Amino acid sequence: MKISNGTNSPVQQIKERLSIEEIVSSYIKLDRVGTNFKAKCPFHNEKTPSFFVSPDRASYYCFGCGAKGDIFTFIEEFEGLDFKGALKILSERAGISLAGFSREKEGEKERLYRVMEESTKFFEKNLVGSKEVLLYLKGRGLEDKTIKDFRIGFVKNDWRELYNYLQKNGFSDKEIELAGLTKKTEKGMYDRFRGRIMFPISDSSGRITAFSGRIFSAEGGSASGGEDFKYEQAKYLNSPDTPIFSKSAILYGLDKAKDSIRKNNFSILVEGQMDLVLSHQAGFRNTVATSGTALSDSTVSKENVISNLGLLRRLSTNIVLAFDADRAGFNASTRAGKIALSFGMDVKVVSLPEGVDPADLISGKCLPAGRQGVDAWHAAIRNSKHIIEFILDKILNNNKEDTHKNRLDSARLVGREIKERILPYVDSIESSIEKSYFIKLISNKSGIAEDALIEDLKKVESELKSETEETKIAKENIGKKMRKDPIERRLLGIAFWQESLPIGQTGIKNRIIDPELIFKKLNKAKEIYKNIKEDLIYEAEEFYSNNENLDKDINEMLLNVEEEYLNEELAEKMMDLQNLKGKKEEIEILKKINEINKRKENIKNNRFKK
């Protein structure tokens, strides 16, 4: 391993210390092919490996979906992070300090990360001096080390305690409000979180992006009064969406669970913070939680859903759902399960006693004296059932217990519930073999003929066709977005950086390239990314300040972007061709398709000559 002399930027030092194969192989299994490595692509579903890693070029390329890049883009895309998040992960892995980062270069997002970190320290300090809260947490089974590791804190029942503290530490009203920590009224600013135990929510690099606060006033006094009295009485209060936090793009505890998920090849999804913290304390570090976050299944947030559960799927295709045993928990399990099934995941559900959540089970509160809750939790996970079998057993048991129904009514009700509540899950499964297996299982357990179930499944498939198409389109859009975004982002960073350089004594800007060359090509993208301009400039400076091959890199990236634009244009022309079949315009469209394919071939040939 080559060690840097310390004069290079952190990016160059990291590249010298960490190889592309070392980073990628820590996430997915690589097989050697000559001087390169291959694998199944982590960014799209495939049966035959088309993802190649080149140590010589220090890059990866997928011939299936077109994903490409270096160690930074791989971490960004796999972990769902921005450049600075990837830089944090890789610098820690390489043992390189980022202490030299200049706060003068901070963008808006970086300031928000700092205000969240400062708030976390404030909450932690408050907890140390709050004996009543510490007694409560320890009474729930939490150990000192666990409280420290998860940075659990407390905020007193005061209107502006956090706000005043952050102001004294140099943060503006705008930054504090934008971070979701305060609210603004005619009477001034006041704290969003008051009288609550605070659980910090981090992205996968460990940067704190949000909070979930559990009310403590209910145990030791009344909640804060005022205009938000009813809202503040909610048991849990979560951060709103902010520029650094999207509820449907992060899972609580993922930063601490991701390595264990990869190692154990399955994740455990729970609801509450206490469920997660106690599960980790019990040794099940592959646990993540939905608390403070969301598993959205609406059309408008399909992309975020894919980002959320999609990241879990990249870590492992196996997931165990362990939600509360009440109706809300059951509904949450079935909704999350359906989304996960549509991603090709194997979904199992833990069966818990009525009125018991994972935290109660692990702490042993619901067990007879002398029974170990950790063992009970282990047994519950081990005995989890596939979600289709889990729901089927619920339906059959509920109807068996209802003695008021006669046999015919019961059979009709079971048949209707299977069609409405189970067959949509069978429809979500991509594999025909698996669908056939579950049809047979449902038939054997319910006594309903397989032919009848298959007939109803066809009706369900027809009814859900539009929803299935939406999911498919969303996946394709994510793929396109994933391929273009890192390239566009880096190119625009270079252009913004070059544009920002000061004017020299000769009156000519000290530029290496003309930024207008990039802006003309990426005019639409420029508008999208201008709100994170400072972050992009920082990224470009770190990558290219001492790069002698900047022109070459820019040309390669412009070719890559052009190739993606050609793919989009080709898809549009193919659609036009189908609609115009048998018409005169067909010849013109075929000519255009031929031109596009020739331009794509030229780009491909130029790439392999380099």
Confidence of residue 606 (pLDDT cuts 50, 70, 90): low
Residue 20 CA to residue 27 CA, distance in Å, equals: 11
- Would you state the pLDDT for residue 469? 57
Q: Which of the pair, 401 or 457, is modelled with greater confidence? A: 457
Rounded (to 5) percent helix, strand, coil in the chain: 60, 10, 30
Q: What is the mean pLDDT of the chain?
A: 81
- Look at phi and psi of residue 40 and say left if phi exceeds 0, alpha if psi is from -120 to 50, else beta: beta
Q: Report how many domains make up the chain.
A: 4
Establish if 243 belongs to a structural domain: no
Kindly indicate the confidence band of residue 218, based on its pLDDT and cuts at 50, 70 and 90: very low
Q: Please give the share of the chain, as a percent, with pLDDT higher than 70.
A: 81
68 with 202, same domain: the answer is no
Q: Is the pLDDT of residue 309 over 90?
A: no
pLDDT at 468 over 70: no
Token reading at 347: 């979904």
Cα dihedral sign, 22-24-25-30: negative
Q: What is the pLDDT of residue 500?
A: 84
- The answer to whether residues 225 and 269 belong to one domain is no
Q: In the chain, pLDDT over 90 holds for what percent of residues?
A: 39
Answer yes or no: do 349 and 425 share one domain. Answer: yes
Least confident stretch, 7-21, 218-232, 514-528: 218-232
Residue 331 near residue 319, CB atoms below 8 Å: no
Around 396, how many Cα atoms within 13 Å sit in the side-chain half-sphere? 14
DSSP 295: -
Per residue in 319-334, pLDDT tens?
999 987 667 767 777 7
Question: Are 447 and 476 contained in the same domain?
Answer: no
How many beta carbons lie within 10 A of that of residue 24, not counting itself? 21
The overall pTM is greater than 0.95: no
Structure tokens given for 110: 């970086």
461 and 478 housed in the same domain: no
Give the pair of three-digit tokens for residue 460: 């369900």
CA–CA separation, 120 and 199 (whole Å):
9
Examine residue 247 and state whether it is found in any structural domain, yes or no. Answer: no
Burial environment of residue 185 by CB neighbours within 10 A (0 to 12, 13 to 18, 19 or more): exposed
Q: Give the domain range for residue 481.
A: 471-609
CATH no. for residue 427? 3.40.1360.10
Whether 260 and 287 map to the same domain: the answer is: yes
Q: Tokens 């089970």 sit at which residue?
A: 361
Q: Would 244 be classed as within a structural domain? A: no
pLDDT digit string, tens, across residues 540-581: 887 777 666 777 778 878 887 787 778 777 777 777 766 665
Task: Kindly report the CATH number assigned to the domain that includes residue 59.
Answer: 3.90.580.10
Regarding whether 600 and 569 lie in a shared domain, the answer is yes
Give the span between the Cα atoms of 421 and 388, in whole angstroms. Answer: 9
The pLDDT of residue 131 is above 90: yes
Integer Cα distance of 427 and 457 in angstroms = 7
The reply to whether 460 and 476 lie within a common domain is no
Residue 99 falls inside a structural domain: no
For residue 76, pLDDT over 70 is answered with: yes
pLDDT tens digits along 104-125: 556 788 899 999 999 999 999 9
Which range has highest mean pLDDT (49-63, 165-179, 346-360)?
165-179
Q: How far apart are CA 600 and CA 597, in angstroms?
A: 5
User: What is the token pair recorded at 175?
Assistant: 């930054």
The residue to which tokens 């579903």 are assigned: 45
Lowest mean pLDDT among 26-30, 190-194, 370-374: 370-374
Q: Which residue did the predictor score with more confidence, 547 or 196?
A: 196
* 548 within domain boundaries: yes
- Side chain identity, residue 153: G
Torsion, CA 151, CA 156, CA 159, CA 161, rounded to 10: -60
Q: Are 346 and 317 in contact (CB under 8 A)?
A: yes
Q: Which of 180, 207, 238 is the last residue of a domain?
A: 238
Higher pLDDT, 298 or 556: 556
Q: What is the CATH number of the domain that holds 161?
A: 3.90.980.10
3-state secondary structure (DSSP) of residue 100: coil
* Domain's final residue, options 406, 436, 465: 465
Domain assignment present for residue 4? The answer is no
Q: What is the pLDDT of residues 27-43, one digit of tens each?
A: 999 999 888 999 998 88
Can you give the pLDDT at residue 219? Answer: 43
- For the chain, the straight-line distance linking the first and the last C-alpha, in angstroms and rounded, comes to 26
Residues 68 and 190 in one domain: no
Does residue 173 sit within a domain? Answer: yes
Position 18 pLDDT exceeds 90: yes
Concatenate the DSSP letters of all residues of 315-374 into one string.
H-SEEEEE--SSHHHHHHHHHHHHHHHHTT-EEEE----TT--HHHHHHTTTS-TT--HH
DSSP bridge pairs for 269: 288, 321
Highest mean pLDDT out of 125-139, 389-403, 548-562: 125-139
Q: Which of 27, 59, 94 is the last residue of a domain?
A: 94
Specify whether 69 is located in the same domain as 141.
no
Non-local CB neighbours of 507 within 8 Å, separated by 6+ positions: none
Q: How far is CA 326 from CA 47, 104, 279, 352, 501, in A?
A: 39, 51, 20, 9, 60
Q: What is the mean pLDDT of residues 335-341?
A: 81
DSSP H helical ranges for 464-522 = 465-500, 515-521
Question: Cα–Cα distance between 111 and 532 in angstroms, integer?
Answer: 12
Which one, of 87, 104, 107, lies nearest residue 535 by Cα? 107
- Together in a domain, 265 and 399: yes
* Number of alpha carbons in the 13 Å side-chain half-sphere of residue 271: 20
Regarding whether 319 and 456 lie in a shared domain, the answer is yes
pLDDT at 432: 87
Q: Parallel, antiparallel, or unpaired: how do β-strands 182-185 and 36-39 relate? A: unpaired
Is residue 2 assigned to a domain?
no
